[in-house]
Amino acid sequence: MDGKYTIGVDAGGTKVAYCLFDQSGKPVDRLQHRTDTDADGVAFSDTVISVIERMLGKNGLSARDLNGIGIVMPSFLLFDRGYVCMTSAMTNICEFPMRDYIAQRINTKIVLDNDSNVAALAEHRYGAGRGARHMVYVSVSTGLGCGIVINGSVFRGSYGWAGECGHMLITPDEGLACGCRNRGCFMSYASGRYIVEHVKNRLARGDMSVLSQADVSGETIMAACHAGDAVAKDALRQFSHYLAVCVFNIYQLLNINLFVFGGGLTNCGEALFGAMREEFDRYNHVAQPVEFRFAQLGRDTGVIGAAELVKETDIV
Ligand SMILES: [Zn+2]
């Protein structure tokens, strides 16, 4: 482990970002490409390997110069084995020993973890959760998930997917079907993907809205909401309600008093999170402080957390 450099790879549903960090943690090179959502484990890993080899070559480095590579996946994965069980945005990546596959081609430490755990780690070490003993990071974006930090360490549970709050059931067997194959999980109400579906269902029923003339997306829903559109306002109200219930349930379960919110929909700001806070307070009847903060690291959260993962994880 004498290498000086670390590579963080953040694989999301739309793009895969790579960052090369030097010994002091400074980013020295970046690359990114669109996500091939049809790729299977082998195809995806082959792409990652070739991009990393190109990045190393371009910087006059080889695998010997690396401390390791951290890879963030939107997956259910067995953390200890770097084994991907299921991936929401890239459904063909399943039941695949990704760590071993990549390690055969690039001789360095490879660590894999899911996106919410890694974001929680990054925000706790360098962002909004610095110094906190316990913290819950909640990712509100295309999907919904959280990462849990207890006594300064990420809590992963028995297999690695502690914090999958988006798939906790709130209206079992009712509501929209989610990618997890259940109906009525929190994600099917409180996520970017499903708010769009709720609005489209209302429009299909013939409800009047400025959105019937528009391409329905998170952005157009927010714009319609600001313009006072009833369908958009209802959708956002429903979103903030279920998000508040989800956060409240996590608070009851873990009694952690710091929630850090990240992900693309934090751009909605007060329109979503102000309403969510009001809903949370409506259910919370014990007058002890519970802090809600926005994440601080932005787009780099994944790659920073991935590099941190390499530093903090011992591979056996
Ligand atoms: Zn689900």
Express each pLDDT in 62-106 by its tens digit: 999 999 999 999 999 999 999 999 997 899 999 999 999 999 999
Per-residue pLDDT, averaged over 134-162, amounts to: 95
**C-alpha 307 to ligand 1 mean position (Å):** 29
Q: How many domains does the chain have?
A: 2
What are residue 224's DSSP bridge partners? none
Given this model, what pLDDT does residue 2 score? Answer: 53
Given this model, what pLDDT does residue 109 score? Answer: 96
Name the percent of the chain lying above pLDDT 70.
Answer: 99
Mean pLDDT for the chain overall = 95
Per-residue pLDDT, averaged over 30-39, amounts to: 96
Residues 156 and 274 in one domain: yes
Given this model, what pLDDT does residue 1 score? Answer: 46
Residues 306 and 291 in one domain: no
pLDDT in tens, 206-251: 999 999 988 999 889 999 999 999 999 999 999 999 999 999 999 9
Residues 195 and 87 in one domain: no
C-alpha angle with apex 19: 17 to 24, nearest 5 degrees? 155
**C-alpha 11 to ligand 1 mean position (Å):** 20
Q: Which residues of 82-117 are buried (b: 16+ CB within 10 A; e: fewer)?
A: bbbebbbbbeebeebbbbebbbeebebbbbbbbbbb
Per-residue pLDDT, averaged over 3-14, amounts to: 91
Q: Please tell me whether the overall predicted TM-score, pTM, comes out greater than 0.85 for this model.
A: yes
- How far apart CA 302 and CA 272 sit, in angstroms, is 23
Given this model, what pLDDT does residue 3 score? Answer: 66
**Domain, as residue range, for 202:** 128-295
Residues 248 and 147 in one domain: yes
Q: Is 183 exposed, middle or buried (0-12, 13-18, 19+ CB in 10 A)?
A: middle
Residues 152 and 73 in one domain: no
Residues 99 and 135 in one domain: no
Residues 108 and 173 in one domain: no
Q: Is 216 exposed, middle or buried (0-12, 13-18, 19+ CB in 10 A)?
A: buried
**C-alpha 68 to ligand 1 mean position (Å):** 33
Do 216 and 232 contact (CB within 8 A), yes or no?
no
C-alpha angle with apex 196: 188 to 231, nearest 5 degrees? 105
**C-alpha 85 to ligand 1 mean position (Å):** 16
**C-alpha 314 to ligand 1 mean position (Å):** 31
Q: What is the DSSP letter of 96?
A: B
